Amino acid sequence: MLKLDGLTKTYAGQRAASAISFEVLPGEVVGFIGPNGAGKTTTMRMIAGTLEPDQGRVEVMGHDVWSNRKAAQAIMGYLPEHAPLYDDMTPRTYLDFLLSARRVAHKQRQELILKAAEQTQIHDVLERGIEGLSKGYRRRVALAGALAHDPPVLILDEPSDGLDPNQKRVTRALIRDLSPGRIILISTHQLDEIATLCNRLILIAEGQVRADQSPREFAAQDPEGRLDEVFHRLTSMPAQSGDGPS
């Protein structure tokens, strides 16, 4: 499982994450939601091992992210909100570079590249320069990079950012196809995406968990089942500890 235990991070005296604890089991697609500055990206970076917490720990399928970071990162696919791409590469050479860095054998790399390209529908631009790709294609190239090594754990920060409605549809279908047996955590501002894609949501505000339940249970807190109304009410609550947002 993915397990967070008391994860805390402070910047310049402001709590970006305050004792965040939850678990995600294989087969779960969990939507990680909250307003801007809530601490979502900070938390996801700590899960992925790119940012060290002040307190607490993250365990990924038995591997502590900080005491055994290489082993933990080897089984994770991480899509940052602003994923870095190399403009002088093509999607093929970019994916090959990522897989080579993970010490995947050359023959297997080619098979995995083609599979990731088909999954994210970038096969038609594999040989084009990344510099000339649209924002939607660039985002899908970055997603292919997170998926290419076929990891059992996916940490996806705004995977639909920059995608048009058709591309979002394809990406959501892909995540559904990938979900059996995998741990998937998705950060998004799109509540409709949570309702259609996730079987559980975790809402944070001011660095604290405010809700952890199914989208149906979350919506049921409003008489008309409006996710945005429940979101507004829960994120407008004052922080219990007095800590401010990131």
Q: Under 8 Å CB-to-CB from 173, ≥6 apart: which residues?
A: none
Note whether 231 and 191 are same-domain residues: yes
What is the spatial distance between Cα 152 and Cα 183, in angstroms, rounded to a whole number?
6
- Give me the mean pLDDT over the 114-131 stretch: 96
Using DSSP, state whether 200 is helix, strand or coil.
strand
What is the spatial distance between Cα 209 and Cα 190, in angstroms, rounded to a whole number?
18
Note whether 70 and 130 are same-domain residues: no
| Mean of per-residue pLDDT scores for the chain | 92
| pLDDT of the residue at 209 | 95
Instruction: Single out the residue of 16, 6, 2 nearest to residue 205, CA to CA.
Output: 16
- Give me the mean pLDDT over the 50-56 stretch: 95
At residue 12 the predicted structure's pLDDT band, cuts being 50, 70 and 90, is: confident
pLDDT reading at 24 higher than 60: yes
| pLDDT of the residue at 240 | 59
Of 50-54, 73-77, 167-171, the range with the lowest mean pLDDT is 167-171
DSSP calls for 72-128: HHHTEEEE-TT----TTS-HHHHHHHHHHHTT--HHHHHHHHHHHHHHHT-GGGTTS
Torsion of CA 218, 146, 45, 132, to 10 degrees: -100
Q: End-to-end CA distance of the chain, in Å?
A: 28
Find out whether 47 and 204 touch, Cβ atoms under 8 Å: no
Note whether 116 and 146 are same-domain residues: yes
Note whether 190 and 229 are same-domain residues: yes
What is the domain-level CATH number for residue 69?
A: 3.40.50.300
Helix axes 135-147, 106-120, angle to 10 degrees: 130
Note whether 107 and 128 are same-domain residues: yes
Q: Residue 92: give the domain boundaries.
A: 85-151
Note whether 99 and 128 are same-domain residues: yes
Find out whether 111 and 99 touch, Cβ atoms under 8 Å: no
Is 172 within a domain? Answer: no
Note whether 234 and 135 are same-domain residues: no
What is the amino acid identity at position 122? I
Note whether 128 and 156 are same-domain residues: no
Calculate what percentage of the chain has a pLDDT beyond 90: 83
pLDDT reading at 201 higher than 90: yes
pLDDT reading at 244 higher than 60: no
Q: What is the total count of domains within the chain?
A: 2
- Give me the mean pLDDT over the 28-48 stretch: 94
What is the spatial distance between Cα 222 and Cα 200, in angstroms, rounded to a whole number?
17
- Give me the mean pLDDT over the 64-78 stretch: 95
What is the spatial distance between Cα 71 and Cα 76, in angstroms, rounded to a whole number?
9
| pLDDT of the residue at 14 | 84
Is 30 within a domain? Answer: yes
Using DSSP, state whether 185 is helix, strand or coil.
strand
- Give me the mean pLDDT over the 48-71 stretch: 95
- Give me the mean pLDDT over the 62-77 stretch: 95
Is 207 within a domain? Answer: yes
At residue 246 the predicted structure's pLDDT band, cuts being 50, 70 and 90, is: very low
Is 173 within a domain? Answer: no
Query: Within 10 Å of residue 87's Cβ, how many Cβ atoms?
Result: 11
Is 177 within a domain? Answer: no
